[in-house]
Amino acid sequence: MDRFRAFIRTSLLGGIVVVLPTVLLIIIFNWLFDIVTDLIQPFTNLVRDNYQLPEFFADVVVMAIILVSCFVIGVTVKTKVGNFIHQSLENKILRIAPGYTMIKETVMHLFGGKQSPFSSVALVRIFDNDTLMTAFVTDRTEQNVTVFVPTGPNPTSGLIYHLKPENVFPIDVPVEVAMRSIISCGAGSHELVHKLTNNRSETAMLKS
């Protein structure tokens, strides 16, 4: 009887592990699609009413038009005339708008226009002992390294520290590995620690 219960429990959990990520992915895509369609609803209504298209196809047409327009604008601003017009418009009008610069910096980070502040993973020493924390290097100066130490399981909240370079130990692991460790409250952190240990061993060998 106990074996049968264990079989049922493990099979059920195994099914949940397989199905749940797919369901969550569908929910996220549906949520994003709803947000986008709400934003473009006025244009969707225009296309739907003029061309008698179903709501879904009108949404697709509007999104396609927006993507093509972004492509054309991107090609245009690469030319001398387009870049001149863009720079003039930005310097004389857009930069005056409150929050424009912050929004532009955020968008450029998200879409790769600049190096993402979360592209470098490190283990950092915050206290005056051997305690280490998982962090992301967000900025550097000659005297300090600024890091963001997220809290688990929610990596969007955390604390910002300005540390001496000797207290920051960069590790060459993908950001996804660090994120998984944070979201799972430390599970899988052995890969981060193992990488740091290897780095220290290699450094010691080079010095010797």
What is the pLDDT averaged over residues 114-130? 79
Q: What is the Cα–Cα distance from 51 to 70, expressed in whole angstroms? A: 23
Quote the pTM value: 0.50
Cα 118 off chain centre by: 8
pLDDT, one tens digit per residue, over 176-197 is 888 888 888 888 888 888 888 8
Higher pLDDT, 158 or 207: 158
Give the model confidence (pLDDT) of 73-86 as tens digits: 989 988 988 888 88
Mean pLDDT over 163-180 rounds to 89
Task: Using the predicted structure, report yes or no on whether residue 116 has a pLDDT greater than 70.
Answer: no
With 0-12 / 13-18 / 19 or more C-beta atoms within 10 angstroms meaning exposed / middle / buried, residue 149 is middle
Domain spans, the chain = 2-86, 87-114, 121-207
Residue 164 has phi, psi (to 5 degrees) of: -70, 145
Mean pLDDT of 92-115: 67
Query: Percentage of residues in the chain with pLDDT exceeding 90?
Result: 27
Helices 41-51 and 2-39 cross at an angle (nearest 10°) of 80
Cross-strand partners of 147: 137, 161
Strand blocks (E) in the chain: 121-124, 133-140, 145-150, 158-163, 168-170
8-12, 33-37, 54-58, 70-74: the lowest-pLDDT one? 8-12
Residue 206 has pLDDT above 50, yes or no: no
**92 pLDDT higher than 80:** no
Taking residues 46-73, report their average pLDDT: 91
- Which residue's entry shows tokens 């130990």? 169
Report d(CA 164, CA 125) in Å as an integer.
9
Confidence band of 122 (pLDDT split at 50, 70, 90): very high
Stretch 166-180: mean pLDDT, rounded?
Answer: 88
